[in-house]
Structures are given as structure tokens and as C-alpha cells.
């Protein structure tokens, strides 16, 4: 460890990581420019590698090129975990860092945390402490394992703080800082822009839905997925449904005999286009967690096709509602939405655009010689 310039590995692997690291890197750079001691090393694991799942986000969000790319690519959960651990361990053995900072709950988050902690490199987890309670989701396993070996928790909510305390984590290791994903959203609001297909598709503000689906429970079984898509078509009252298709979902979709009418299938959208679509939508139908945070801040009604959420504040405070995975629940929910009887929602505490700065400030203090 360098006594003067602590090196922080900032880990990113999959799409939902990129918007979370951007404000942290910016805050660390700003401190460095102002004479601060911390240095960042950006490590991309390569879990997501397409331009559409990765490169576009780096460009649009002004994230610098990674210092290191582990290039792990696709695989099963265990294959990806093993490849990331092996390659990240190599990196640490060659050039050790002083902190491994991981964000969110993807495979890369857990794998790097394990490799680092085994070499006694302290782990900082941004978005630590959130829990869905559903062990059927790989992300929940990633959260549990990561948090079990995390030194410093940067949290998004009081619920997360309470979960950590319940697990025996002392208050001196919990830092309630807010939501870095929302830093990125607020910083980019003026830059949001309509996708190229906006006019062609005849889209108008408030006149369409946006849908994202990629959870195995919703998309891996072709028959169940087809039933779900039919229900969406029936419940959306003829309004267009813009559906940016995740690579996992595309595989099942390609196997369906007939494509559902009314759905506007598009490629995964870059950040600025995707959030433009969300901001101007009548409502959003999703099984993502991050999207429910963005709809909460944008005040857009959000229908989540899951039984549980690790982000309960999007329901208790925000515009999100969980309707489960039974397609029959869509119709009554969307009828309420279309009739204008959806809750208005408010913005959770500290989701204010300053979270990256708070994290950098804490790190500077924690890493004092
Ligand atoms: C991962 C995260 C999930 C996150 C999601 C967002 C885990 C456990 N899950 O799930 O939390 O919400 O990303 O996108 O980490 N693929 C491509 N191109 C890519 C990346 C992936 O074609 O750039 C393909 C893979 O080959 C694989 C499928 O998409 O067949 C799924 O990718 P994978 O990284 O395994 O997990 P996601 O389902 O994307």
C-alpha cells in the first residue's frame, strides 16, 4: 500500500454497473484534481461485452476507458464467477490495490469481492444491504455473499441500513449515502434524447408503454413468456409497447412461433435514449430493479412483474407496484394506470445527485494514513 496515494479498484462488469460507477469515478477525479490523494483504477470484468450492453454506456456517460479489462465473456454463473475471480486475483497479485470497490449485485460484484478479501484487500460495497429474500435470484446470492465479506457499506436506504444492523454490522461500517444511479439520472436529464425510431413508430409523450424483461422466471420458459406477452398486448389498450430486448430475452423470443402484435421490439437502448423513453411513457412494465428506481425519480408509473423487491422504497415511497409473475394480474393493474388512478409517489431520502461525492469523501477519510 502506498502511504501517499491509496489505489481504489472500481469494478464494473454488467450494464447496471456502469451508471453506478460513473459518478463515483467523477467524484474521485474531481478530488484528485483538487489535490486529493485517492487514485482510481477502473476494472471492467467483461461480463457484458456488446457495444449495446457496455460500450454505448461508457461513451454516453463519459466513463474513461477501463485501465484493465478481464474479458471474461459469457458462461454459466459458476463459469463467470470462476473466470472473474481467477483473472482479478492475478491482477491483484501483480499490482495490488488498497480497496476493491464493487457496486450492485451482479456476478462481477461478488466474484471480485471474494478474490479481493481473500488477499486481504478491503472491500467497499456500493448499494450494500438490500435484500429481496428470494434465493431463487442469482442477484440475491451475490448480495448475501458480497455483504458477508464487505468492510464498508455505502447504502441507498434506511431499510438497507436496518438489514445490515440485523446481520450484526456495526454502525461504524455503514454509510448512508444515497443512490449513485440517481446521480447519473439527474446529471443526464438535460441530455436525454429520443431514439431514432421515435417518429417512425409514431410515439407521442404519454401515448405508449416501455417494457423490459430479462429475469429467468419471466423469460426462460417459451410458453410462459408467450403467455406473458399476450397478456401485455391485451392489457395495454392498443397503445404501443416499446420493448428493448435484452440478449437473454432475445434467445427465447427467437424461438416463439409468432411474435405478439402491438409490441415494438427494439435492440437494447443506450442510456440517454432509454431514459428518454421512460420519462415520456404512460407507464413502464418491468422485472428490473434499477428501472424501478429511475421511474420513482421520474414520477412515471411502474408495474413490476416480480413477487419481491430488494428496493422496497420504490413501492412504499415511489411509483412502483409489485404485481407478481402471473400475467392475469396485468389487466387490472393497467386499467387503473390508464384510468389515471396510479399513486403519484415521492423521492426517497438522499436520492439527490450528490451520492458519488459523499462516497469519495468517506473513502478519503477511511484511507487516511
Ligand atoms: C446480468 C445481471 C443482472 C442484470 C442484468 C442486466 C447477474 C447475475 N445478473 O444478467 O443482475 O440485471 O445483467 O443486463 O450478474 N450477453 C450478450 N451480450 C452481452 C452480455 C450478455 O449477448 O454484452 C448474453 C450472454 O451471453 C448470456 C445472456 O446475454 O447468454 C445473459 O448475460 P449474463 O451476463 O449471463 O446475465 P444477464 O442475464 O445479462
pLDDT, one tens digit per residue, over 263-275 is 999 999 999 999 9
CA 74 to ligand 1: nearest atom: 26
Task: Determine how β-strand 99-103 pairs with β-strand 7-12.
Answer: parallel
- In sequence order, the β-bridge partners of residue 284 are 210, 302
Give the Å distance between the CA of 362 and the centre of ligand 1: 31
For residue 119, give its domain range.
7-179+351-366
Instruction: Based on the fold, state whether residues 52 and 147 are members of the same structural domain.
Output: yes
**Would you state the pLDDT for residue 1?**
45
pTM (predicted TM-score): 0.96
**Would you state the pLDDT for residue 3?**
52
Instruction: Based on the fold, state whether residues 149 and 232 are members of the same structural domain.
Output: no
Instruction: Based on the fold, state whether residues 215 and 243 are members of the same structural domain.
Output: yes
**Would you state the pLDDT for residue 262?**
83
Is any atom of ligand 1 closer than 6 Å to the C-beta of 279? no
Contact residues for 233 (Cβ-Cβ < 8 A; gap 6+):
241, 260, 261, 262, 263
Among the listed residues 125, 214, 246, 280, the single catalytic one is: 214
Contact residues for 91 (Cβ-Cβ < 8 A; gap 6+):
43, 68, 70
Instruction: Based on the fold, state whether residues 118 and 212 are members of the same structural domain.
Output: no
**Would you state the pLDDT for residue 261?**
78
Q: Does 268 fall in a domain?
A: yes
Q: What is the CATH number of the domain that holds 209?
A: 3.40.50.2000
Q: Does 343 fall in a domain?
A: no
Instruction: Based on the fold, state whether residues 135 and 175 are members of the same structural domain.
Output: yes
For residue 23, give the C-alpha cell. 459518478
Q: How far is CA 92 from CA 111, 150, 367, in A?
A: 13, 17, 18
Segments of the chain scoring below 50 in pLDDT: 1-2
Instruction: Based on the fold, state whether residues 231 and 141 are members of the same structural domain.
Output: no
Give the Å distance between the CA of 43 and the centre of ligand 1: 18
Give the Å distance between the CA of 2 and the centre of ligand 1: 36
Is any atom of ligand 1 closer than 6 Å to the C-beta of 48? yes
Q: Does 91 fall in a domain?
A: yes
Find cell 441530455 and name the residue. 191
Q: How many CA atoms lie within 13 A of 254 on its CB side?
A: 6
Is any atom of ligand 1 closer than 6 Å to the C-beta of 248? yes
* Rounded Cα–Cα distance for residues 336 and 340 (Å): 6
**Would you state the pLDDT for residue 358?**
98
Instruction: Based on the fold, state whether residues 152 and 112 are members of the same structural domain.
Output: yes
* Rounded Cα–Cα distance for residues 304 and 284 (Å): 8
Q: Which of 47, 110, 249, 288 for a ligand 1 pocket mutation test, highest count of atoms within 8 Å of Cβ?
A: 47
Instruction: Based on the fold, state whether residues 355 and 334 are members of the same structural domain.
Output: no
As for how many domains the chain has, the answer is 2
Q: Which helix (H) or strand (E) holds 1?
A: none
Q: How far is CA 327 from CA 230, 283, 285, in A?
A: 9, 17, 12
280 is catalytic: no
Amino acid at each position: 500500500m502506498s502511504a501517499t496515494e491509496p489505489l481504489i479498484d472500481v469494478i464494473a462488469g454488467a450494464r447496471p454497473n456502469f451508471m453506478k460507477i460513473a459518478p463515483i469515478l467523477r467524484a474521485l477525479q474531481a478530488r484528485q484534481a483538487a489535490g486529493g490523494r485517492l487514485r482510481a483504477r477502473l476494472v471492467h470484468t467483461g461480463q457484458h461485452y456488446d457495444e449495446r450492453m457496455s460500450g454505448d454506456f461508457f461513451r454516453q456517460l463519459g466513463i474513461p476507458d477501463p485501465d484493465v479489462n478481464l474479458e471474461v465473456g459469457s458462461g454459466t454463473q459458476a463459469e463467470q464467477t470462476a473466470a472473474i475471480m481467477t483473472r482479478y486475483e492475478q491482477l491483484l497479485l501483480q499490482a495490488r490495490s488498497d480497496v476493491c470497490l464493487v457496486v450492485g449485485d451482479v456476478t462481477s460484484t461478488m466474484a471480485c469481492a471474494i478474490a479481493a478479501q481473500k488477499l486481504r484487500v478491503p472491500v467497499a460495497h456500493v448499494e450494500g444491504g438490500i435484500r429481496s429474500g428470494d434465493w431463487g435470484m442469482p442477484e440475491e446470492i451475490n448480495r448475501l455473499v458480497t455483504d458477508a465479506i464487505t468492510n464498508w457499506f455505502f447504502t441507498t436506504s434506511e431499510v438497507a441500513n436496518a438489514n445490515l444492523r440485523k446481520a450484526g454490522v456495526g454502525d461504524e461500517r455503514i454509510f448512508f449515502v444515497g443512490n449513485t444511479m440517481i446521480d447519473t439520472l439527474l446529471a443526464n436529464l438535460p441530455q436525454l434524447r429520443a431514439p431514432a425510431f421515435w417518429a417512425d413508430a409514431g410515439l407521442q409523450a404519454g401515448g405508449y408503454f416501455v417494457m423490459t424483461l430479462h429475469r429467468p422466471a419471466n423469460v426462460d420458459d417459451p410458453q410462459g413468456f408467450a403467455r406473458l406477452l399476450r397478456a401485455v398486448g391485451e392489457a395495454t389498450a392498443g397503445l404501443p409497447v416499446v420493448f428493448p430486448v435484452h440478449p437473454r430475452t432475445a434467445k427465447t423470443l427467437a424461438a416463439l412461433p409468432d411474435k405478439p402484435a402491438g409490441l415494438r421490439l427494439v435492440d437494447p437502448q443506450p442510456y440517454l435514449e432509454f431514459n428518454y423513453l421512460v420519462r415520456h411513457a404512460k407507464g413502464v412494465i418491468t422485472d428490473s430493479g434499477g428501472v424501478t428506481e429511475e421511474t420513482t425519480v421520474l414520477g412515471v408509473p411502474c408495474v413490476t412483474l416480480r413477487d419481491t423487491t430488494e428496493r422496497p422504497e420504490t413501492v412504499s415511497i415511489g411509483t412502483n407496484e409489485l404485481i407478481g409473475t402471473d400475467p392475469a394480474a396485468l389487466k387490472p393493474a393497467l386499467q387503473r394506470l390508464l384510468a389515471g388512478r396510479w399513486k403519484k409517489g415521492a423521492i426517497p431520502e438522499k436520492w439527490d445527485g450528490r451520492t458519488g461525492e459523499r462516497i469519495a469523501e468517506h473513502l478519503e477519510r477511511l484511507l487516511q494514513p
